[in-house]
Amino acid sequence: MKRAFVFLVSTADAGKRFDRFLQQQHLSLSRSRIKQLIEGGRFLVNDRQVKAGAKLKPGDRISGSVPAPRLLEARGENIPLDVLYEDAHVIVVNKAPGMVVHPAPGVFSGTLVNALLFHCKDLSGINGVLRPGIVHRLDRYTSGVIVAAKNDLAHESLVKQFESRTVEKRYLAVVYGHLPEPEGLVTTALGRHPKKRMMISTHTRSPRQAITRWRVLELLRYFTLLEIFPKTGRTHQIRVHLSSLGRPILGDPVYCQKKRLKEVADPEVRSRAEKFPRQALHAADLRFSHPESGEPMEFHAPLPHDMEDVVEFLRGR
């Protein structure tokens, strides 16, 4: 069912951007969804379609209707989930490595969304037909904690928390070599690779701010176990930032050159590294505020068996 609305712009709101004004009206819509509806002519100023960045004047009449969430096209599948927490508003899962978060071209089943749709009959549809409830992502071969929204108000709250960078994340990674300092900060901007569109690069025509803090947790044979605290959430951010330091993640098929294996003199270590099936990156901790109560929530996912085994092996060497 559609929700119609009419707002009159007050003197206090004069000069605000159209999309920013709508964000402040408690429509339970994300910023990207508001922009999408403005561009589609759903939201009007004085019965006229204007751009999202248009500046408002006192007395302007804002009208429109919020369309009901579309029927979800992704289908639920009976896929086992490691549920860390669930209530009427959110579900927190320890994602297995190899699981894609949402359907995309070439991957239409077996995703986290398919599993959630089967498990949660009330999953939020506000984020579209292929990404219901999804407010952040983990790469396919990255394991660990991920939260999804079960209703539209929870979705809006979590999106705002991620956008305002109040969500705290802690990752664990096994990287090549040893670092010269016990901790550090990477602030190199990231964007699409100028030639290889599927890759992210520090050399890009469209740089976006990216901030990653790291700390050495343990020195291993030829490798290091790192704690990583990303402040921003750019695509492949941790993988690219660590690669830019000359310390790519073990098993990363995109940002770790194969010649790194040649630097490992121990044949048994080299063999184990060569056979590791994915990037050794794990989302260990996630902290956010509950979307209804505002209470701080914290969740932990233990190191998965494949990473635990390789760390134990390298520790023993």
Which residues are the active-site residues?
Answer: 139
- Average pLDDT of every residue of the chain: 91
Same domain, 49 and 158: no
If one counts the domains in the chain, the total is 3
Same domain, 50 and 111: no
Same domain, 186 and 147: no
Same domain, 134 and 185: no
In the DSSP assignment, the letter for residue 55 is B
pTM of the model: 0.77
CB 291 within 8 A of CB 158: yes
Same domain, 196 and 59: no
CA contacts within 13 A on the Cβ side of 305? 1
What CATH number is given to the structural domain containing 30? 3.10.290.10
Same domain, 94 and 192: no
**In the chain, what's the furthest Cα-to-Cα distance?**
75
Interval 74-130: pLDDT, tens? 788 999 999 999 999 999 999 999 999 988 767 788 999 999 989 987 676 655 555
Domain membership of residue 292 (yes or no) is: no
Identify the domain containing residue 100 by its residue range.
69-163
Same domain, 212 and 312: yes
